[in-house]
Amino acid sequence: MVATIRNPIEWLADQISGGSHHIEAAGESIGGEKGEVALEDIRIRRIEIADLRDAVRAGIADLGACRTDIAFLSVLYPVVGLLLTYYAFHQDVLHLLFPMMAGFALLGPLAAVGLYELSRRREMGEAPDWRNAFSVIASPSFGAIFVLGLLLVGLFVVWLIAAQIVYVLTLGPAPPTSLASFARDVLTTQAGWAMIVIGLAVGFVFAAVVLAGSVVSFPLLVDRHVGAPAAIVVSLRVTAKNPRTVAAWGLLVAAALVVGTIPVFLGLVVILPILGHATWHLYRRAVGHETDIAPVRKGAR
Would you write out the chain's pLDDT as a tens digit for each of its 301 residues?
A: 444 444 444 444 454 444 444 444 444 444 455 556 677 778 999 999 999 999 999 999 988 887 655 555 566 666 766 777 777 777 778 888 888 888 777 888 888 888 898 899 889 888 777 677 777 888 888 899 999 999 999 999 999 999 999 999 999 999 888 888 999 999 999 999 999 999 999 999 999 999 999 999 999 999 988 899 999 999 999 999 999 999 999 999 989 888 877 766 777 778 888 999 999 999 999 998 655 544 444 444 4
Q: What is the pTM of this model?
A: 0.79
DSSP letter at 178? Answer: S
Question: How far apart are alpha carbons 260 and 286 in whole angstroms?
Answer: 26
Amino acid identity for residue 226 in this structure: V
Cβ atoms < 10 Å from Cβ of 270: 17
CA dihedral 18, 20, 24, 28 (to 10 degrees): 50
The domain locations on the chain are 56-288
Report the relative pairing of strands 287-288 and 43-44 from DSSP bridges: antiparallel
Q: Which residue, among 77, 38, 210, 224, has the nearest Cα to 136 in the 3D structure?
A: 224
Query: How would you label 6-28 residue by residue, b for 16+ Cβ within 10 Å and e otherwise?
Result: eeeeeeeeeeeeebeebbebbee
Q: Which residue, among 272, 235, 275, 205, has the nearest Cα to 42 in the 3D structure?
A: 235
